[in-house]
Structure 1
Amino acid sequence: MAPGARLEIMTAAPDPAAPDLATAPAAPDLIARLRTALPAESLLTDPDVTASYAHDMASFCAAGTPAVVVLPRTVEEVQHVMRTATELRVPVVPQGARTGLSGAANASDGCIVLSLLKMDRILEIDPVDRIAVVEPGVVNAVLSRKVNELGLFYPPDPSSWEMCTIGGNIGTASGGLCCVKYGVTAEYVLGLDVVLADGRLLKTGRRTAKGVAGYDLTRLFVGSEGSLGIVVRAVLALKPQPPQQLVLAAEFASTEAACAAVCKIMEGGHTPSLLELMDRTTVRAVNAMAQMGLPETTEALLLAAFDTPDPAADLAAVGALCAAAGATEVVPAEDHAESELLLQARRLSLTALEAVKGTTMIDDVCVPRSQLGALLEGTARIADKYGLTIGVCAHAGDGNTHPTVCFDAQDPDESRRARASFDEIMALGLELGGTITGEHGVGVLKKEWLAREIGPVGIEVQRSLKQTFDPLGILNPGKLF
């Protein structure tokens, strides 16, 4: 299929078995039931306040008006919410910090927004078993710093790690900058406590390093975007804290040369702790926002890091590969402080691109590493076709790209072109053998594209799973498919 042929997209047909939730009770009846077992401070009903919980950070995603926002502090309170919702057939939308980029946390009309931010305790850190047991509202950076104090390491590090919660990371199967070496969230979730739609508590997984008893229900919940149950506790695997990493920056005169260097690095058997790419548009945006002095003459800036016992030697080897691939300059950081400055530039990429026009659509296409150059070249053509600024930052070592469409949301024509370009990039990603999302999830934004990627049999099987766990269809309705 040629990129942009949106009319050919196979959309997910409405689920004929989906229940009708339109007959939900009036808000006063619902709130009265909730109050029977919830403290008054955990219920938010002021429309001006509840409106602030209606959506996450995604553009072009419809959001409804919640009937009430509930902020439970205990598992029993979550169970009461779900029992009430099941009895009254009220939809429930679970939320973390609402830093998501697909609309997965967006409210539906008349729903209970179940915010898990107050369940924010680190319950246990065990250095022998190398696990942490946490509630879903724990912020990623808080956990990371706490385990660092004990010489341990929790690797998943989304760009929003200072704000995003572990529950949200689990719901969307988040990734991050260090995935090329350490993997994504799913690889660190050993076990879960999940409140099901009817209020029952399901325990999945284990605390042990190994275990294959029964179906892997833990993995099923990771990435389910709150559509199968409410995660109220997680057992997470930890690693020994590695040495401080050193970073190398390599400038390239073309994205093609930078992507060729990525392929050479991975083909050569190197295992960097991160391998990130920023195109010229992204570099200039970061400079404009933070005056970081990045080289604006470059077409692509590649950042490689190693946290090995001898990172300087590894950087030298990778630097030689970059030079052979056409790098115009290769600059290894001299110390940890300089390395952190370079990483801060990469972490600022999405915020800086948003400042270009005020609104962004952040794509999340992941392709085989060998197709990374084709994806970036195709994205540049799409930007030219629609007359838009589209910056690309990428977890290059994974082939996971974030083409970011910058546009003025107050301009209807520019908004239309932004949405069309976003869809063409996803179509291009599938054409190149990739996937529509590497780490941001499907939510509302990519429902029709999920149907195209996994096909009718895949949709049927996933709906069957949804029906098993949530027969009334009250958990995060309207998301995924």
Structure 2
Amino acid sequence: MAAGPLVDRLLGGLPPEAVLTDPDVTASYAHDMASFCPAGSPAVVVLPRTVEQVQHVMRTATELRVPVVPQGARTGLSGAANATDGCVVLSLTKMDRILEIDPVDRIAVVEPGVINAALSRAVAEHGLAYPPDPSSWEMCTIGGNIGTASGGLCCVKYGVTAEYVLGLDVVLADGRLLSTGRRTVKGVAGYDLTRLFVGSEGSLGIVVRAVLALRPKPPEQLVLAAEFASGAAASDAVCRIMAGGHVPSLLELMDRTTVKAVNDMARMGLPETTEALLLAAFDTTDPAADLAALGALCEEAGATQVVPAEDAAESEMLLQARRMSLVALEAVKGTTMIDDVCVPRSRLGALIEGVERISEKHGLTIGVVAHAGDGNTHPTVCFDASDPDESRRARESFDEIMALGLELGGTITGEHGVGVLKKEWLAREAGPVGMEMQRAVKHAFDPLNILNPGKLF
């Protein structure tokens, strides 16, 4: 399809400022933050502000058989938002209104372009909290969080995005508007189509409105830092904490490589003598007592030092160090491949030890940062993208880590999604029957295969 007729048809239902055709501008929308993921050249980028405008885009795309790639802030790490040649990039960042906050029903109704942190701050004014908090929460959008079923630092206690999406308005491939779910706490009427869209990476429909569950705002959390002489010892501490019935609001792990990278970037003063730094937090009414009990378990597991934060400011400094981990690791060599392998908590130590062996085998720096309480790890391969041999070894390391995760009873992605990067691995994890059923679902919602084609499958 020539860009001229396509653009003319789009302009029939969109204001001129919402349709971008300058090649230099459209090229800037071609990809997300993932490495090793091919991206095509969009024919046009559209930035709708209303549901009706999104419907017009999808009707036009269906009539002209043009692929559509939905996008949020493009902070994703799997290539799920990457353009295909000749596509319409549908950027939803202008649909950024918080439509409603209801303290009685404890819900928020939002458009997909709302920034995660902006929603958190808005509901906090009502004494409420929206718990899912990806590390990119100051940039990522709620629509993108829904598309990849994002997690975050507090998932060990509060769960992931899927547990907070009560209902959705979705524009289908042919432009029809589908409403799923509810505004109530309970509801089991029919198939759970809402959950089906969560994690679908824009391949089944375009989310244009979401009803999100909220929780009462918890007390301020206090953080504890525990140093360990090995990742295995830190993993043992995690197992002791969870087996002991503790419910920390955060339980995160940073290995020595990650700690050094954060210090190099931000001069945070984290202890570089440790092989693994475990961060734990409680947001209970007596967090100091809870941290003391957790600290004792860390010492039993071999912690060389346990240091509880003295106040909220010191706690926030530690959390900021954790949030900047992936950016800091990218600065080590200029490029990273970020794995997203989730394993049973009991196998966390085996995964960390396996990553160390893979790092030594390929002669590459691989930092490990993890949502340890969930068993969700982000082994991050650092390499020089201008060096073909390093790039090859980086890709081999990435694949070996994925295989290791499956061998340990885990999954290829805990929160980043499949996108382009992990299509082969999805097939391995799901198996032939599982893939057949997933393709059948895709065909039912998008028979022309125009919604984010080439992703997932």
CA drift of 1:42 comes to 0.1
Q: Distance in 2 between matches of 1:368 and 1:449?
A: 18
Residue aligned with 2:366, SS: strand
What is the match of residue 191 of structure 1? 167
Quick check: 1:339 aligned with 2:281?
no
Structure 2 unmatched ranges of 5 or more: none
Quick check: 1:45 aligned with 2:45?
no
Q: Write out aligned runs for 1:305-316 (5 A).
A: 305-316=281-292
Q: Distance in 2 between matches of 1:90 and 1:257?
A: 53
Match of 1:177 among 150, 153, 158: 153
User: Given the two structures, how large is their TM-score scaled by the length of structure 1?
Assistant: 0.95
CA drift of 1:181 comes to 0.2
Match of 1:408 among 384, 393, 412: 384
Q: Distance in 1 between matches of 2:70 and 2:362?
A: 36
Match of 2:44 among 68, 87, 96: 68
Amino acid at match of 1:395: H
Match of 2:115 among 131, 136, 139: 139
What is the match of residue 17 of structure 1? none
What is the match of residue 234 of structure 2? 258
Match of 2:355 among 379, 386, 399: 379
Match of 1:113 among 80, 89, 101: 89
What is the match of residue 279 of structure 1? 255
Quick check: 1:437 aligned with 2:413?
yes
Quick check: 1:396 aligned with 2:375?
no
Amino acid at match of 1:187: E
Q: Distance in 2 between matches of 1:431 and 1:352?
A: 29
CA drift of 1:60 comes to 0.1
Q: Distance in 2 between matches of 1:255 and 1:26?
A: 55
Amino acid at match of 2:261: A
Task: Report how many residues are paired.
Answer: 457
Q: Distance in 1 between matches of 2:290 and 2:58?
A: 52
What is the match of residue 98 of structure 1? 74
Which structure has more relative contact order (CA 8 Å, sep 6+)? It is 1
What is the match of residue 57 of structure 2? 81
Match of 2:35 among 43, 51, 59: 59
CA drift of 1:106 comes to 0.1
CA drift of 1:329 comes to 0.3
Residue aligned with 1:190, SS: strand
RMSD: 0.3
What is the match of residue 473 of structure 1? 449
Deviations 1:12-38 (CA, angstroms, capped at 9, x unpaired): xxxxxxxxxxxxx21101001101111
CA drift of 1:243 comes to 0.2
Q: Distance in 2 between matches of 1:255 and 1:36?
A: 59
Match of 1:204 among 180, 187, 190: 180
Q: Distance in 2 between matches of 1:340 and 1:414?
A: 36
Amino acid at match of 2:123: V
CA drift of 1:340 comes to 0.4
Q: Distance in 1 between matches of 2:232 and 2:13?
A: 60
What is the match of residue 4 of structure 1? none
Amino acid at match of 1:308: T
Q: Distance in 2 between matches of 1:468 and 1:40?
A: 33
User: Given the two structures, how large is their TM-score scaled by the length of structure 2?
Assistant: 1.00
Amino acid at match of 1:379: V
Deviations 1:77-101 (CA, angstroms, capped at 9, x unpaired): 0000000000000000000000000
Quick check: 1:358 aligned with 2:330?
no
What is the match of residue 324 of structure 1? 300
Match of 1:160 among 136, 146, 150: 136
CA drift of 1:388 comes to 0.1
Amino acid at match of 1:95: Q
CA drift of 1:190 comes to 0.2
What is the match of residue 270 of structure 2? 294
Q: Distance in 2 between matches of 1:46 and 1:281?
A: 42
What is the match of residue 216 of structure 1? 192
What is the match of residue 129 of structure 1? 105
CA drift of 1:324 comes to 0.5
Amino acid at match of 1:476: N
Q: Distance in 1 between matches of 2:301 and 2:415?
A: 29
Deviations 1:391-429 (CA, angstroms, capped at 9, x unpaired): 000000000000000000000000000000000000000
CA drift of 1:453 comes to 0.2
CA drift of 1:235 comes to 0.1
What is the match of residue 404 of structure 2? 428
What is the match of residue 208 of structure 2? 232
CA drift of 1:69 comes to 0.1
Quick check: 1:461 aligned with 2:437?
yes
Q: Distance in 1 between matches of 2:187 and 2:230?
A: 47
Amino acid at match of 2:72: G
